Amino acid sequence: MGWVSAYGRGMSTDRQQPPYRADHVGSLLRPPALVDARARHAAGTLDDAGLRAAEDTAIREVVALQRDAGLQTVTDGELRRTSWHMDFLYQLEGVSPTEETMAVHFRNADGDLDFSSAALSVHDRVRLGEPIFTEAYTFLRDTAAEIAPGMTPKLTIPSPNMVHYRGGRAAIDDGVYPDLDAFWDDLAGAYAEEVRAVAGLGCTYLQLDDTSLAYLNDPAQREQLRAQGGDPEHQHERYVRTINDAIAGRPEGLHVTTHLCRGNYRSSWAAEGGYDFVAEAVFGGLEVDGFFLEYDDERSGGFEPLRHVPAGKQVVLGLVTTKHGRLEDKDVLKRRIDEAAKHVPLEQLCLSPQCGFSSTVEGNALTIEEEAAKLRLLVEVADEVWG
């Protein structure tokens, strides 16, 4: 059965700035050669230069993959990272891993999956000693200019909220921060320096990845936060203020988006529930240019919370799942876009996968060929919907 948009085709909808009509969250599957290089590096049989060379080769390949899919933006797939967030957070001064581990309970279609990672500790004043990921961004920028001219390089980094949400007040030394207001000020200040630094390298597209704001929609997550002595009713409001403080002084021409994620590890998720609980504060108050939102299945809730999105901000609908390799039906995607357009105008909508393909080095349960097919699908559907 064919599909006709309720909003017709009479408007000018081609977007020449981020986020784009067909976009993606950032991480991409690690190719086998890079996985092997990482294993040899860990075993001590490959030196740092050898690993860097393997990463460079893999990044050139994923830049070409994104170019060939027809996308307008390009990332390095986060191929130099083990984790989407910890590789960044541990480079902030005052933040370090601890000997303790943090257990995260994930779920998937087949059952449960537990993941453990190093916890973090805020043991000193939070500062940005040296800008983070600048070498990675510079390589991406130069590679894109060489083999994918015209594409916009995007840098993805974790939201500042992830420093707090990982351990809450208990992870912050009260001798350093007896008053948490000083912690929030320092954290936002460090991120503001990072934002200025990457903009100085020519970055025009920055994405802040955040699980905290999505997790807080889940009643089970809020109850867990309450048990830890947190403030589940208002913590998202503090998080919104911190992001706004971090990006308030961003240079003109730097587009900032955020991705609200419910967890993405080996095709599993950690939280469920629609965006209703945080929608008014986040969509109405967060001073970003666009929101990447997970909407790939029923655990994501409905589109009704999108009524809080003001004019001038884009919503990137994560309708294509990265959890498996089966390709979505175009007509189903178009009908869902039409459903969302009942709550926010069609010209404010874009299309993407619900999350990255490989938020951690392990990656999700699909092949690189299936990943590429999903990226091509995004471009084809966006072209048919928006032109």
Residue that is written with structure tokens 């909508």 in the block: 349
pLDDT 10s per residue in the chain (387 long)?
333 333 333 333 468 899 999 999 999 999 999 999 999 999 999 999 999 999 999 999 999 999 999 999 999 999 999 888 889 999 999 999 987 655 554 555 665 555 556 689 999 999 999 999 999 999 999 999 999 999 999 999 999 999 998 788 889 999 999 999 999 999 999 999 999 999 999 999 999 999 888 888 878 878 888 887 888 888 999 999 999 999 998 999 999 999 998 865 554 555 577 899 999 999 999 999 999 999 988 778 899 999 999 999 999 999 999 999 999 999 999 999 999 999 999 999 999 999 999 877 786 789 999 999 999 999 999 999 998
What Rg, from alpha-carbon coordinates, does the chain have? 20
Q: What is the DSSP string of 167-194?
A: TGGGGB-TTT-SSHHHHHHHHHHHHHHH
Quote the pLDDT of residue 313: 97
Q: Write down how long the chain is.
A: 387
In a domain, 77, yes or no: yes
Whole-model pTM? 0.90
The count of domains in the chain is 1
Quote the pLDDT of residue 101: 58
In a domain, 161, yes or no: yes
In a domain, 20, yes or no: no
User: What is the H or E stretch that residue 223 is in?
Assistant: helix 219-227
Quote the pLDDT of residue 116: 56
Domain of 182, CATH number, reads 3.20.20.210
Q: Which two tokens stand for residue 232?
A: 């589940």
β-bridge partners, 120: 97
In a domain, 282, yes or no: yes
In a domain, 362, yes or no: yes
CA quadruple 31, 33, 36, 37: dihedral positive or negative? negative
In a domain, 18, yes or no: no
In a domain, 9, yes or no: no
Q: What is the domain range of residue 303? A: 32-386
In a domain, 195, yes or no: yes
